[in-house]
Amino acid sequence: MEANHKATKGYLALNDSDLLPNLFIPSMDMLIWNCRGAGNQRFKRTMRELVQIHKLDILILMETKVEFKSMGMFFNCMGFTASAHVDPTGRSGGIWMLWNPNVVNVRVVEASSQLITATISRQDFPDWLLSAVYASPNHCKWDELWEHLEVLSHNMTELWLVAGDFNDFSTTQEKRSFNGNHHLSQSQDKRRSKKFNDKIHHCNLMDLGCSGPRLTWSNN
């Protein structure tokens, strides 16, 4: 926690003796999940459990592999009666943003194959901006996404959360590779993570950190 506070003060150009500002951010439970397929029974069972346990206000699902219209009633029955979505192309991609309008007001600003950005409003609290990302593994499209985020950041006046699946990693510890040429792979990974961190820095964003398993996805 101390290290996080020190890093935050650095980003805000505060001295060590300065107090962090109280931003009065409302408590909100949100799930952001690359579910890798949203149409099967296993997904539905897990989704119901997660909503019941965590009392979620906003859902963001990526790589859904199915069109939203096939699942609309499923989410309506759980109280998520408002949504914005970009359906996958074939079985690739897809971003769904769903929310309970009785709890939170969401106004979508833009939607594309890699990004849904929305203004989040709640009574008695300042509005803030949420960008849900599913970055393409295609390098050209990946660059396009970050160029767009940089443009957004230069005009940003609200609090801004950018979250999702960036198809990237910020340190080599976030990846486990079984490549036979270990030294070449490590060198490439360092260049890649530096590029990713540079993009985060250029957008004036900071990594909020995480807790839990160090590695959360595997492709064998």
Task: Give residue-wise pLDDT tens across range 115-152.
Answer: 999 999 988 788 999 999 999 988 899 999 999 999 99
Would you say residue 189 lies in a domain?
no
Token pair for 170: 């910020």
pLDDT at 96 > cutoff 90: yes
Would you say residue 180 lies in a domain?
no
- Per residue in 50-86, pLDDT (tens digit) is 999 999 999 999 999 999 999 999 999 999 999 999 9
Please tell me the pTM assigned to this model.
0.83
Report the domain count for the chain. 1
Would you say residue 85 lies in a domain?
yes
- Nearest CA to 196 out of 155, 142, 152 is that of 142
Would you say residue 58 lies in a domain?
yes
For residue 160, the SS3 value is strand
Would you say residue 152 lies in a domain?
yes
Residue range(s) defining the domain that contains residue 159: 2-167
Would you say residue 210 lies in a domain?
no
Mean pLDDT of all residues in 31-36: 93
Distance of CA 88 to the CA centre of its chain: 17
Question: Which residues share a beta bridge with 115?
Answer: 112, 133
User: Residue 100 — pLDDT band, cuts 50, 70, 90?
Assistant: very high
- CATH number of the domain residue 56 falls in: 3.60.10.10
